[in-house]
Amino acid sequence: MSAAGTDRVLVVVPTYNEKENLPRIVARVRAAVPAAHVLVADDSSPDGTGRIADDLAATDDHVHVLHRPGKAGLGAAYLDGFGWGVRNGFDVLVEMDADGSHLPEQLPDLLARIDAGADLVLGSRYVPGGSVVNWPRHREVLSRGGNTYVRLVLGIPLRDATGGYRAFRRTALEALGLADVASQGYCFQVDLAWRAVRAGLRVEEVPITFVERETGTSKMSRSIVAEALWRTTQWGARHRFEQLAAVVRRHPAQSDAGNRGSAG
């Protein structure tokens, strides 16, 4: 990616109890793309992750910290991080987990697609070249099944709409109408990807290697999965209804035209 573009890249890293992982992931991001900035969005982690983030920021002017009042969910953390990035003049905003499952060394691949003209680039586990490492079989089955469900219900051509390693142009985020986003977890990722597709933005997928975390505990829960299924089903039903309504609205016009032709 060009130096001019890289100077305006912000990697948003939400954290909650990630004190062991955070220093390593920040160091790897800074090594992979030295000109990029990192924003740690910490949800008042009781394990002291926020204090560690402050220490990192004190010694590196490319590291910043956004202290949030409490654990309010992944989606809210990213939205706050995006807002901070837009206000501070960044042109490309990246989502990345703090647990090492998203390899910072692959960030240049995402940024290269942005530099080539994409509005949103998804790091994909399920396109050719993508892979998952050390994931329990049931987690992979759930993830693949969820993405298949999303494609069928929403009618979008994306192989990995639930993944959380992605890069947005600022202009793309501004076009998505984020003020009414209330979804979290997997659902948040699906929501933004679907909004981008419906807005006619250029959405691309690049293969990534997803690695299961080595330390700490996963934030995934049944409630997050249930929310994703419920909201996706709602969105899909509404979308199909809108399509049907559009066909019905067009039908009388076609009938009228046929009647006028017969009368003539």
pLDDT of 117-133, one tens digit each? Answer: 999 999 999 999 999 99
| pLDDT recorded at residue 1 | 42
| pLDDT recorded at residue 71 | 86
Distance (Å, whole) CA 139 – CA 235: 24
| pLDDT recorded at residue 214 | 65
In contact, 66 and 157? CB cutoff 8 Å: no
Phi, psi of 28 (to 5 degrees): -70, -40
pLDDT of 75-86, one tens digit each? Answer: 999 999 999 999
| pLDDT recorded at residue 73 | 85
pLDDT averaged over every residue in the chain: 86
Distance (Å, whole) CA 84 – CA 163: 22
Most confident of 196-210, 222-236, 237-251: 196-210
Asked whether residue 259 carries a pLDDT value surpassing 60, the answer given is no
Structure tokens at 89: 């003049």
| pLDDT recorded at residue 34 | 96
* Residue where the block lists tokens 């003020």: 179
- In angstroms, the Cα distances linking 238 to 14, 194, 233, 242 are 31, 13, 9, 6
pTM to 2 decimal places: 0.83
User: Which band of pLDDT confidence, cut at 50, 70 and 90, is reported for residue 157?
Assistant: very high
Distance (Å, whole) CA 247 – CA 234: 20
User: Which band of pLDDT confidence, cut at 50, 70 and 90, is reported for residue 6?
Assistant: very low
Asked whether residue 5 carries a pLDDT value surpassing 90, the answer given is no
Phi, psi of 125 (to 5 degrees): -80, -15
